[in-house]
Chains A and B, each alone.
Chain A
Amino acid sequence: MTALVIAEHDNAHIKGATLNTVTAALATGADVHVLVAGFNATAAAAAAAQIAGVAKVLHADASALENGLAENLAAQVLAIASGYTHILFPATASGKNVAPRVAALLDMAQLSDVTKVISADTFERPIYAGNAIATVQSGDAVKILTVRTTGFDAAAATGGSAAVEVIAAAADSGKSSFAGREVTKNDRPELTAAKVIVSGGRALGSNDKFMEVLTPLADKLGAALGASRAAVDAGYAPNDWQVGQTGKIVAPQLYIACGISGAIQHLAGMKDSKVIVAINKDAEAPIFSVADYGLEADLFVAVPELVKSL
């Protein structure tokens, strides 16, 4: 058995989610190979070779692979898929975009957001916004998975010494092209990798208030900032800060929910956090049912006070 992990990278560095995916791949009991498909991505391939547990790195380099377009990346995976029993992607925007395309081209089913590997063909995954956990078994010859990164520890980024093999790059599909990127400016820890997250909801009232009230607390704790769907929809915070079923899934050491009621949608994204703190003036808010520590108070008073006492 050999598993292929599709690395997520920016052509220079391997992204953290790849490390969790390698751990999931190792849990199937297979040898683990990593594909680094990109453009001028030699540094990323070298970094992948350092990951503990990786037996081989395959490196495909072409301008068509620079931006991870689904059509081209799927064709690249397909070109080398034979011989692999498992193909794993991190369950990030990129992995979710490409994995089903690969699965359909191979005529295999795909398993999304796997949280646990029980055996080489049996896995756990959450359904209904995390309100139920399904144990599922795939009868297909190739198991194609996306891996929920919070379900697995990160593999060590160093200590490995895999060989890097350069492989032929797949041709450009010609059907799609990359037109531009608008990156949210963020000098904080990445949301999905942060140890502490300070998250705000609709109660913040405006983008100015959101930043004014929550930024000092996040600064003090070295935390990432997150938001509920309501806060994002109201324009208080950028889209990619959304924590929830349809946003980011996080599991930090400490999650501080400020002015968030705690809808099912939101809880699905954060209820695996180690310690949850809720600050809300509504005593009946559902968030209190999952919070380890609840503070019933006006967040505009409580949060500045909290900043002062830290």
Chain B
Amino acid sequence: MKVLVPVKRVVDYNVKVRVKSDGSGVDIANVKMSMNPFDEIAIEEAVRLKEKGIVTEVIAVSCGVTQCQETLRTAMAIGADRAILIETDAELQPLAVAKLLKALVDKEQPGLVILGKQAIDDDCNQTGQMLAALTGMPQGTFASKVELTADSVAVTREVDGGLETVKLSLPAVITTDLRLNEPRYVTLPNIMKAKKKQMDVIKPADLGVDVAPRIKTLKVEEPPKRSAGIKVADVAALVDKLKNEAKVIG
């Protein structure tokens, strides 16, 4: 069975982003970019399924600018067999990405698609669900455990109040939560090997998909700042402040 793993190039999670002064967006020029952390978990899971012998091929795919090739090379260094870049400079929103991925699913016929639950830049948490809808596949979102057999997959999901398990027929879409696995470190020999793996570059038009954005961003602002707090000397002072100044405890 083939597994398709979409990965996104995002601002590194350690970077504190700055809002541009003209309100047009977030300044990402000269900022460190990395693979979205949830997508690393997705690749890791796909590679582990391959190591168990259930999966035969892992295909990483990314949509976006030329530099997404670096993200795909990282995916291949973790263990993906080949990569596809859907190259475009256009702003891509989740619905457009889901349509691009749907076209690839039609072509590659994977048994499973594993995505991250959300990207840490737009914080949307939509693409996996949208892809499942467009392809008519069942979905197992926010997965913390995946048990794959030849014709079905049991997914344990992180939900409010605990965990729940759903059983899905294949092909299916899974989105990863933090606790699914611990992604491996990429080693230098694997980075070298990844350079030789196959990477196909195609355009949205090749897939016949219109990627025009449906949501217009009018402005981007800094969130309201909290006014500076104070440090208290000891527990007695803290209790006094909470009772008499903030009045949040009786």
Q: Which residues of A contact B (CB under 8 A)?
A: 67, 69-71, 74, 92-94, 96-105, 107-113, 122, 126-140, 173-184, 186, 192, 196, 221, 229, 232-233, 238-240, 245-246, 248, 253-254, 264-265, 271, 274-277, 288, 290-297, 302, 305-306, 309-310
Contact = CB atoms under 8 A, between A and B. Distances in A.
A108 B121 CA distance: 21
B13 A265 contact: yes
Contacts of B241: 293
A135 B65 CA distance: 25
B226 A132 contact: no
B231 A295 contact: yes
A290 B226 contact: yes
Interface in B124-180: 124-134, 137-142, 144, 154, 157-169, 172, 177-179
Nearest to A70: B139
A21 to B, nearest CB: 14
B218 A183 contact: no
Interface in B28-69: 38
10 contacts: A101-B133, A103-B133, A132-B220, A135-B220, A137-B216, A175-B138, A271-B226, A274-B248, A293-B231, A294-B230
Given A135-B219, A275-B248, A295-B231, A239 B123 contact: no
Given A93-B142, A292-B246, A101 B17 contact: no
A70 B239 contact: no
B104 interface: no
Contacts of A69: 166
B82 interface: no
B214 A108 contact: yes
Nearest to A177: B167
B188 interface: no
B191 interface: no
B187 interface: no
Contacts of A297: 234-235
B26 interface: yes
B122, B159, B161, most chain A CB atoms within 10 A: B161
A232 B232 CA distance: 29
Contact of A128 (B120, B161, B236): B120
A295 B234 contact: yes
B95 interface: yes
B239 A128 contact: no
B215 A138 contact: yes
B179 A132 contact: no
B222 interface: yes
B217 A135 contact: yes
A163 to B, nearest CB: 30
Contacts of B154: 179
A97 B214 contact: no
A79 to B, nearest CB: 14
A247 B94 CA distance: 21
Nearest to A291: B229
A305 B123 CA distance: 39
A176 B229 contact: no
Contact of A296 (B26, B117, B231): B231
A180 B159 contact: no
A178 B167 CA distance: 6
Contacts of A180: 164-165
A246 B214 contact: no
A97 B129 contact: yes
Nearest to A265: B13
A93 B160 contact: yes
Nearest to A111: B215
A281 to B, nearest CB: 13
A102, A128, A277, most chain B CB atoms within 10 A: A128
A232, A246, A253, A271, most chain B CB atoms within 10 A: A246
Given A108-B95, A179-B167, A239-B158, 9 more contacts: A97-B141, A101-B132, A122-B218, A135-B218, A138-B214, A271-B223, A277-B238, A293-B230, A296-B231
Contacts of A99: 126, 129
Contacts of A275: 242, 246, 248
Contact of B19 (A132, A175, A184, A265): A132
Nearest to B126: A100
Contacts of B133: 74, 100-105
Contact of B214 (A71, A109, A122, A295): A109
Contacts of A238: 162
A276 B139 contact: no
B56 to A, nearest CB: 23
A229 B178 contact: yes
B107 interface: no
Contact of A309 (B134, B165, B239): B239
